[in-house]
Amino acid sequence: MHRTHTCGELNINDLGKEVTLAGWVQKSRDLGGMTFIDVRDRYGITQLLFNMDEDPSLCEGARKLSREFVIKVSGKVVERTNKNPKIPTGDIEIKVSALEVLNPAKLPPFLIEDETDGGDELRMRYRYLDLRRNPVRNNLILRHKMAQEIRKYLDNQDFLEVETPVLIKSTPEGARDFVVPSRMNPGEFYALPQSPQTFKQLLMVSGFDRYFQIVKCFRDEDLRADRQPEFTQIDCEMAFIEQEDILNLFEGMIRHLFSTVKGIDLGEVPRMVYADAMKYYGSDKPDTRFGMRFVELNNLVKGAGFPVFDNAELVVGINAKGCAPYTRKQVDELTDFVKRPQIGATGLVYLRYNQDGSLKSSVDKFFNEDQLKAWAAVFEAEPGDLILLMAGPTDKVRKQLNELRLEMGTRLGLRDKNKFAPLWVIDFPLLEWDEEHARYHAMHHPFTSPKPEDIELLDSKPGEVRANAYDLVINGTEIGGGSIRIFEKSLQSLMFKHLGFSPEEAQKQFGFLLDAFEYGAPPHGGIAFGFDRLVSIFAGLDSIRDVMAFPKNNSGRDVMIDSPATISDDQLKELNIKTTV
């Protein structure tokens, strides 16, 4: 061992000890007669003292050290005259008697400090240096702790962690697969799993009863800021359970995580049916850190001659508490916000409830004060509030107002990263209409079971069939989702039929699962959490990138190792493939 202690553990109780430390030079200060060096490792920082009078050559050596040199020092623990109460080692320093440079360092391309001057591109290229920074490393320490606690909790609940294969088979449903040419089976390909869905269901058929895995999954999608081609799921499945059991058990897991990792009692997780989430928040993942619920106004606004309202399927609004003083400019900003192409609204109607009790709206022409008072009443508005209204086709206007609500939440500081508002959204629709392909597809996946009481609607009103499916949402982000699964061959075949599979296609793609259901499949269900996302919420980050050690950029590249890259002709030949570019 190149050290007797880490750089984070020595304190006043160690005075007089002869110790050896190793680490990186964080900074040095040369005060003429004395040179101070801060040496850093994962565990902390310790101050080193070199005295010119006592050992000039040693001190000269210390003066030559630059940032990020790797050094090993021996010396005695002494009390500091100038203590630093901010760090655990701040009461002591090491009076160095021997110094060895284990490895020198070039000047890093950016500052290795909590706040760095390195841009994204540079930090990713030198990710190994970026990972030296406390905030980045702390995210990964947090991730480690969370993974440990998740495993502890699930192990205590009799879950077995079972590794499912990474080299599986491509299926046309869902997102694009990454594929892997098989050398031994020319012309054939493996696919990397988008999730271990079918394998975990087979483990239930096998009687494993409770399965989990913290597992890498893969999706070849066009990457947005917050997507990665490889990501990690906490994947879980249970047999002989009902939805209620899953909600309770995994609510327990999330509460355990908050309590052990963050010391927060999350409390009971409220539940909301999908239909209400859409009605009151315009989203299946409402941010419930703040209220500002939607209020529908159709019965108050129709027939007044204002065509935008009269022609709209839905007129709906929110009450921005205390925003009546907003200037014209501020209100215009909000109008511009909802008119941006990403949101696509045609306009915004406001009703200002002034502090003096008077009402002022952008549609005064069409509505008298009594009418406006009635609006204010349904919003439970008080003097000082600003009511914002939008109108249009129901689904569209809800989505638009959701964006505005979130924007107002941000402007009003209601989306505190240190506050955590969890929510179960339940009773999702089974099927979702796909405009592009003019057919229904599974909202969750094809293995989700319809609610038994809704099965009869499958033929007549497929869009109204509710599923035994649920999402866990925290602060407006979906962090997990799951369902009770179909476990009978006949119902699964019916489901495939409704999704447009021919019996032959269904058998070719999922024959092994349909077969398995004939040999004694138990009722089962499960859930999967996006682990990267969950960690990022715990870390208070907007992106999942900084909770991954080596993320890829938006083109799917790892700029540090310069991957992907071309491969040799010999490799291509052995794999029986050619590139066409």
Which of positions 515-544 make contact with its own copies (CB under 8 A)?
516-523
Q: Is 68 in the site for its own copies (CB under 8 A)?
A: yes
Stretch that binds its own copies, among 202-210, 258-266, 376-384, 386-394 (CB under 8 A): 202-210
Q: Does 24 bind its own copies (CB under 8 A)?
A: yes
Select from 31, 175, 184, 225 the one that contacts its own copies (CB under 8 A): 184
Per CB under 8 A, 224 contacts its own copies: no
Nearest-Å Rg of the Cα atoms of the chain is 30
Report if residue 40 touches its own copies, rule: CB under 8 A. Answer: yes
Query: Which listed residue (160, 325, 432, 497) binds its own copies by CB under 8 A?
Result: 160
CB of 109 to its own copies, least distance (A): 9
Cβ closest to its own copies, residue 151 vs residue 396? 151
Q: 18 — phi, psi (to 5°)?
A: -90, 120
Q: Name the nearest CA neighbour of 46 among 17, 539, 1.
A: 17
CA dihedral 102, 105, 111, 114 (to 10 degrees): -20
Q: Which is nearer to its own copies, 377 or 567 (CB)?
A: 567
DSSP for residue 452: G
Q: Which of 18, 226, 245, 380 binds its own copies (CB under 8 A)?
A: 245
- Alpha helix (H) ranges present in 263-393? 274-281, 298-301, 307-310, 328-339, 369-378
């080193």: which residue's tokens?
A: 48
Closest separation in Å from C-beta 159 to its own copies: 9
Q: Binding to its own copies by residue 564, rule CB under 8 A?
A: yes
Tell me the C-alpha distance between 477 and 267, whole Å.
18
* Closest to its own copies by CB, 68 or 284: 68
Min CB(382)–its own copies separation in Å = 47
163 contacts its own copies (rule: CB under 8 A)? yes
Q: Which residue has the tokens 């990792």?
A: 261
Q: Tell me which of 226, 456, 505, 574 binds its own copies, using CB under 8 A.
A: 574
Residue with Cβ nearer its own copies (210 or 285)? 210
Tokens of 73: 């020092």
Number of residues interacting with its own copies: please give it, by CB under 8 A: 123
Q: How many CB atoms lie within 10 A of CB 168?
A: 17
- We find the least distance from the C-beta atom of residue 469 to its own copies, in angstroms, to be 19
Q: Decide if residue 4 touches its own copies (CB under 8 A).
A: no
Rank residues 57 and 580 by Cβ distance to its own copies and give the closer one: 580
Distance between alpha carbon 186 and the CA centroid of its chain, in Å? 39
Residue 216 contacts its own copies per CB under 8 A: yes
Which amino acid appears at position 435 of this protein?
A: E
Residues in 70-89 that interact with its own copies by CB under 8 A: 70
**CA distances (Å), 527 to each of 87, 246, 253, 540, 568, in order?**
42, 8, 12, 24, 42
Cβ proximity to its own copies: between 132 and 396 the closer is 132
504 binds its own copies (CB under 8 A): no
Query: Which of 168, 273, 308, 499 is in the footprint of its own copies by CB under 8 A?
Result: 168
Stretch that binds its own copies, among 31-39, 177-185, 275-283, 302-310 (CB under 8 A): 177-185
Binding status of residue 275 toward its own copies by CB under 8 A: no
Report in angstroms how near the CB of residue 458 gets to its own copies at its nearest: 20
Minimum CB distance to its own copies, residue 505 (Å): 12
39, 49, 202, 401: which one contacts its own copies (CB under 8 A)? 202
CB 385 within 8 A of CB 329: no
Residues numbered 91-150 forming contacts with its own copies, rule: CB under 8 A: 102-106, 108, 126-129, 131-132, 137, 140-141, 143-144, 147-148
Under 8 Å between Cβ of 426 and 348: no
- 198-230 burial: b if 16+ Cβ within 10 Å, else e: bbbbbbbbbebbbbbbbbebbbeeeeeeeebbe
Question: Chain centroid to CA 316: how far?
Answer: 30
CB of 326 to its own copies, least distance (A): 43
Least distance in Å: CB of 127 to its own copies? 8
- Selection from 125, 72, 114, 118 nearest residue 96 by Cα: 72
CB 39 within 8 A of CB 85: no
CB of 168 to its own copies, least distance (A): 6
Q: Which two tokens stand for residue 18?
A: 């002869």
Work out whether 452 is an interface residue with its own copies (CB under 8 A).
no
CB-based contacts of 233, cutoff 8 Å, min separation 6: 195, 213, 214, 215, 217, 528, 529, 530, 531
Q: Work out whether 369 is an interface residue with its own copies (CB under 8 A).
A: no
Cα separation of the two ends of the chain = 52
**Paired tokens of 121:** 């591109």
Q: Is 27 in the site for its own copies (CB under 8 A)?
A: no
* 181 binding its own copies? (CB under 8 A): yes
For its own copies, the binding residues in 461-500 under the rule CB under 8 A are: 487-488
Site for its own copies in 382-401 (CB under 8 A): none
Residue 469 burial by CB count (10 A; 0-12/13-18/19+): exposed, middle or buried?
A: buried
Return d(Cα 464, Cα 428) in angstroms, integer. Answer: 10
The nearer residue to its own copies, 476 or 551, going by C-beta atoms, is 551
- For helices 243-262 and 134-156, the axis angle rounded to 10 degrees is 140
Region 332-351 residues binding its own copies, contact defined as CB under 8 A: none
Q: How far is the CB of 536 from its own copies (least distance, A)?
A: 14
State which residue, 102 or 377, has the beta carbon closest to its own copies: 102
